[in-house]
Amino acid sequence: MSEITTHTGHLDASGLRVAIVATRFNEAIVERLVASATDTLRRHGAEASAIRVVWVPGAFELPIAVSRVARRGDVDAVVALGCVVRGDTPHFDYVAGEAARGTAAAARETDIPVAFGVLTTDTWEQAVARAGGKLGNKGGEAAVAAVETANLLRSL
């Protein structure tokens, strides 16, 4: 009987070059996501010199910057970080929707994995809970996903 071939990405970030693209909008939240992402990458073995942080105005601008940084040819993965709070306006749906669609499209078009660490919440309190509060830190979780996917792609 033939054997099953399995591919999984390991979590060793040594040798990986990672770009974090983060929003200045809701910066009090996003800087916590960035801190957790960089700390997580370092704890998984990434060199500080292999981490690049790029700041964009808001989540709507994430796709174009993610796409540009992924095309540089010197990054193995991108972590997109931001925070979109619903408030009372339909603006939320456009901004959050484009951030998700655009970063996913950038990953497919460049063949560079992009982890989506953009909080999309109804309230500021829900964002705080996901940025180092009682629900953990989605910045660190996105960094782990980026490392795992970059290593997975190397094995495929």
**CA angle centred on 28, ends 59 and 84, rounded to 5°:** 30
State in angstroms the smallest separation of the CB of 71 from ligand INI: 21
- State which of positions 13-32 bind ligand INI (CB under 6 A): 23, 25-26
Is 91 an interacting residue with respect to ligand INI (CB under 6 A)?
A: yes
Q: Which residue among the candidates 7, 10, 44, 91 is catalytic per the annotation?
A: 91
Dihedral pair phi/psi, residue 90, rounded to 5°: -65, -10
Q: How many residues does the chain have?
A: 156
* Sole binder of ligand INI in the list 16, 34, 50, 60 (CB under 6 A): 60
Which of 105, 117, 92 lies closest to 33, judged by CA? 117
Closest CA to 119 of 73, 66, 83: 83
Rg of the chain, C-alpha, whole Å: 16
Catalytic status, residue 91: yes
Question: Which stretch in 6-14, 39-47, 84-92, 135-143 sits in contact with ligand INI by CB under 6 A?
Answer: 84-92
For ligand INI, which residue of 42, 54, 58, 132 counts as binding (CB under 6 A)? 58
Q: Which residues are identified as catalytic?
A: 91
